[in-house]
Amino acid sequence: MSAMVKPQIKKGAFGKTTNQDQVELYTLTNANGMEARIMTYGGTVVSLKVPDRNGRLGDVVLGYDSLDGYLKNNPYFGSIIGRYGNRIGKAKFSLNGKPYTLPKNNGENTLHGGAKGFHTVVWKAMEVKPRDGVALSLSYLSKDGEEGFPGNLSVTVVYTLTNKNELRIDYSATTDKTTVVNLTNHSYFNLAGKGSILGHELMISADKFTPVDAGLIPTGELRSVKGTPMDFTTPTAIDARIDQQDEQLILGRGYDHNWVLNSVGGNLALAARVYEPTTGRVMEVYTTEPGLQFYSGNFLDGSITGKGGQVYNKRYGFCLETQHFPDSPNKPQFPSTVLEQGAKYRSTTIYTFTVRK
Ligand code: GLA
């Protein structure tokens, strides 16, 4: 473990957007020397340096060295996703009998908030004092009608780096008109810091998942994982079953599905644990959300050269996106994503980092 250091936040410039808006980069360091870099464009986690079993820090998230990459070609690396994370089928839904039409940016469907989702906006940053560690508060006002969604939505996302080596994300939002909200973070993890993620061992606390159609829209069924390649109730290497001739794996081109977490009532609970055998790094994900999208980086294809010149080939990163289920606005049987005027949206996810010797 690195020597104790004073927890701190440093602010620096990270460039300008195509609209000439200034983008800042904040470096958060905790008492153990663990470091998170977060930029105001997309509220993006740009790097996350955590110790391996020998105490050596390594960056466990994918991304670019400079803002330019994020502006030009960004598969949502590390960003905050909204107003509606994941897919809305046929790019429409209705609320109180009123239809709303959204931009189609994923075949017939809307993905991750539309073409100009929260991952493309510059957030307003403020340092805040948490009880433990250091924290950065980001806020954004999404205007009524933005990307087709109703209501002025005022959103705050607080990133806290605790001295227990946790990256905690607290989301909150209010609206002045009934709307739908589903916020998440789209970090691509690779606990080895490089190469394929196929050897990582994954556990997901879920007995069910939401099977999808060819457009990756849930059919509405909650299906048992038992006896299928979706069963991660006991730790299993990601590659153990990924190439099986399974209908759902074929539709997802690998894993790209939502798991129905076993937790109840919106209480913070363990959703997943990932272990990387070569470095000993362990990541746990805790969340108040009912769902978890496990995406195995199937669309990475070597066309992106990221940080330090690393070429991101297929399955070189994975995402664990805590969320409400995809297409909930069109699935009355799913937990609701509706936010009423006067109500407060709240969601918390914690990524904890430890090692196994
Ligand atoms: C999400 C989706 C995937 C893919 C990635 C980005 O997690 O579920 O299908 O679109 O984002 O490439």
**Per-residue pLDDT tens digits for 324-346:** 999 999 999 999 999 999 999 99
Beta bridge pairs of residue 44: 39
Which pLDDT belongs to residue 112? Answer: 98
| pLDDT average, residue stretch 294-304 | 98
Cis peptide leading into residue 315 (ω within 30°): no
Strands 223-224 and 184-185: unpaired
- Does residue 322 line the site of ligand 1, with CB under 6 A? no
Residue 146 phi/psi, 5-degree rounding, is -60, 130
Q: Which of 73, 76, 257, 325 gets mutated to test ligand 1 (max ligand atoms within 8 A of its CB)? A: 76
CA distance 63 to 56: 20
CA of 295 to the centre of ligand 1 (A): 7
When pLDDT is cut at 50, 70 and 90, the band that residue 143 belongs to is very high
Protein residue whose Cα sits closest to atom 8 of ligand 1: 256
| pLDDT average, residue stretch 264-269 | 94
Structure tokens at 83: 């107003």
Share of the chain above pLDDT 70, in %: 99
**Per-residue pLDDT tens digits for 88-123:** 999 999 999 999 999 999 999 999 999 999 999 999
CA distance 145 to 263: 34
User: Could you tell me which residues come within 8 angstroms of residue 157 by beta carbon, excluding any fewer than 6 positions away?
Assistant: 43, 80, 123, 137, 138, 139, 169, 170, 171, 183
Active site residues: 186, 321
Which pLDDT belongs to residue 211? Answer: 98
- Please state, rounded to an integer, the average pLDDT across all residues of the chain: 97
pLDDT surpasses 80 at 353: yes
| pLDDT average, residue stretch 237-254 | 98
When pLDDT is cut at 50, 70 and 90, the band that residue 3 belongs to is low
When pLDDT is cut at 50, 70 and 90, the band that residue 4 belongs to is confident
**Per-residue pLDDT tens digits for 158-209:** 999 999 999 999 999 999 999 999 999 999 999 999 999 999 999 999 999 9
Structure tokens at 232: 């991660």
Which pLDDT belongs to residue 340? Answer: 98
What is the signed CA dihedral for 143, 258, 236, 76, rounded to 10 degrees?
-30
CA of 31 to the centre of ligand 1 (A): 34
Within 10 A of 106 (CB to CB), how many other CB atoms are there? 17
Question: In terms of C-beta density within 10 A (0-12 exposed, 13-18 middle, 19 or more buried), how is residue 98 classed?
Answer: exposed
Q: Which of 319, 322, 327 gets mutated to test ligand 1 (max ligand atoms within 8 A of its CB)? A: 319
Which pLDDT belongs to residue 238? Answer: 98
pLDDT surpasses 70 at 2: no
Within 10 A of 195 (CB to CB), how many other CB atoms are there? 13
Let me know: does 239 contact 189? Beta carbons within 8 Å.
Answer: no
Beta bridge pairs of residue 193: none
Closest CA to 330 of 101, 8, 163, 130: 101
